[in-house]
Amino acid sequence: VNSIILTGSLLALLAIGYRINTHRLQHLPESGAAIALGCIVGLAVRILRLTEEEQVLNFNGEFFYFVLLPPIIFEAGLSLETQIFIDNLGAICSYAVVGTIVSTWVVSHSLRWAASAGLIGLIASPRLAIHCHLFGALISATDPVSTIALFGGSRFRSD
């Protein structure tokens, strides 16, 4: 069953990616399709109570950081148009720094407010503020990476 789920998911991603790249699905980025498919597969595994498959689908941080992430970063650096990057370095750095700080502040304070209002399952403790700020910083730091990946697609290029 593991191989059927994995193969089916990969085939579905290939089909959706083909439709996105041939402009039949214009308003859905590939990363959004991958996230949606992952949610659907994860939900199906949970609902059907497939415990063995659930263990296979668990996130392994070491595998991600040491196997999957380096080729992604290498490809991004290799395909970067250096002159355009250098020409816009000031704007890129200012938007990245200011945007990340503002996003961190909004996310962390919203999370802290939601926790104090009892809207989420966080227990009030002396370290709640630092945990909210750390989560806000973590989430905000991934926003620029997602934006760069989204705008790096061919449909956003002017050439």
pLDDT in tens, 10-44: 888 888 888 877 877 777 777 788 888 888 888 88
Q: How confident is the model at residue 154 (pLDDT cuts 50, 70, 90)?
A: low
> What angle (nearest 5°) sits at the alpha carbon of residue 49, between those of residues 48 and 55?
125
Residues in the chain: 159
Q: pLDDT at position 159, please? A: 53
| Alpha-carbon span 103 to 93, nearest angstrom | 15
Span 1-14, mean pLDDT? 80
- Are 115 and 128 in contact by the 8 Å Cβ rule? The answer is yes
Q: Which residue has the higher pLDDT, 111 or 72?
A: 111
| pLDDT bracket for residue 155 (50, 70, 90) | low
Q: Tens of pLDDT along 95-130?
A: 788 888 998 999 999 999 988 888 887 887 888 889
Give the model's pLDDT for residue 146: 62
Would you say residue 144 has pLDDT above 70? no
Which of 20, 67, 11 has its CA nearest to residue 41? 11
pTM: 0.47
**Dihedral sign for Cα atoms in the order 101, 103, 105, 111:** negative
Contact assessment for residue 13 and residue 6, using Cβ atoms and an 8 Å cutoff: no
Q: Structure tokens of 64?
A: 């991600």
In whole angstroms, give the CA distance from residue 122 to residue 117: 10
- What's the pLDDT score for residue 109? 93
